[in-house]
Amino acid sequence: MAPTITKARRMRELLQSGRIVVSPGIYDGYSARLVEQAGFQAASTSGAGVANSRLGQPDIGIMSLRDNVDGCHHIARSVSIPVMSDADTGYGNAVTVYHTVQYFEEAGVAGINIEDQVSPKRCGHMRGKELISAAEMAKKIEAAVKAKRDPDFIINARTDAIAVEGLERAIERAKTYIAAGADMAYPDAIRSEDEIKRFVDEVQAPVSISMGIGLRGRPTTPLVSVKRLQSIGVARVSYSRMLTAAAIKGMKDALRAFRENMETDQPPERQELVVGAEEISELMGYSFVNELEAQFLLDEQLEKKYGSAQEVDYVVRGQA
């Protein structure tokens, strides 16, 4: 029997393929399954997205290790594509990072980001970020590498130094983190296409870039096409906030239309703003439950649940 290819190995193969890995940001089961259904080969949990949606709080270090790991576990197991996760600062010092890596690896994700911010961290596009020393971060990376049980598990070293110390220091930090054993470098809030190219050229290791779709106000990372990022040499691009921004927009539009129709004779639900129950059932795999029932439940159990042999054939066996 051929050995099973782990999701971490699949992610590593994608990164080594010579083609940029496009990784939409996800934050729950719906977004994860939609990314897979759309044909993307990988995804990444957004730390901000998980904190915002799971806790209803801003991404300022309030979310705990267990909150994050539990959320990522359910997300990763819901899809067959590899998912990388945002582990914030690793939740403490290098010793804490050691355990953090093992928790995330056990959760079924293919790799994690660890950043060089002081804890409690701040969302990468917020002001007021503070950094630990490059030497301390390098020790965190060494601990992360030692902790992983699967050699293919990916350590993505994120640096927030550009906003605090400038591009030169961010490049120096990234080189230090790669030398400590990190598999990728991730310069957050990088400010231009030229800076992206320079970072890629000088770091000489796989580079992950986050595109800030949905961000307004003070410019951070500009939106650069996937094709252009590929030509620059970027290994992976994540779109951390695209789906959270799209979901909020969709819910606001549906709620606005609902309120407008509440006092009229029109149906309160605008059909063009929602998907049908059948589409939700298909996305979430309800038909597989029917297959399991048809395979493993006794005929008398099925008839007790559904009322008649004819109804069993219709609901469970898909026979009209």
Domain annotation covers residue 38: yes
* pLDDT for 198: 98
Asked if 234 and 310 sit in the same domain, the reply is: no
Asked if 285 and 241 sit in the same domain, the reply is: no
Domain annotation covers residue 90: yes
Task: Judge whether 81 and 36 are in contact, CB under 8 Å.
Answer: yes
* pLDDT for 219: 45
Asked if 68 and 151 sit in the same domain, the reply is: yes
**93-99 — which CB contacts under 8 Å span 24+ positions?**
93/136, 93/140, 94/136, 94/139, 94/140, 94/142, 94/143, 95/143, 97/140, 97/143, 97/144, 97/147, 98/143, 98/144, 98/146, 98/147, 99/147
DSSP 3-state of 51: helix
Asked if 46 and 142 sit in the same domain, the reply is: yes
Q: Which residue has the higher pLDDT, 272 or 14?
A: 14
Domain annotation covers residue 263: no
Domain annotation covers residue 255: no
pLDDT over threshold 90, residue 124:
no
What band does 87 get if pLDDT is binned at 50, 70 and 90?
very high
pLDDT per residue as tens digits for the range 232-248: 999 999 999 899 999 99
Tokens of 206: 């796989």
pLDDT over threshold 70, residue 213:
no
| DSSP 8-class letter at 206 | -
The boundaries of the domain holding residue 298 are: 273-320
Asked if 185 and 316 sit in the same domain, the reply is: no
Domain annotation covers residue 260: no
Domains contained in the chain, number: 2
CATH code at 132? 3.20.20.60
Domain annotation covers residue 15: yes
Tell me what the pLDDT averaged over the chain comes to.
91
Asked if 21 and 79 sit in the same domain, the reply is: yes
Report the percent of the chain where pLDDT is more than 90.
69
Domain annotation covers residue 267: no
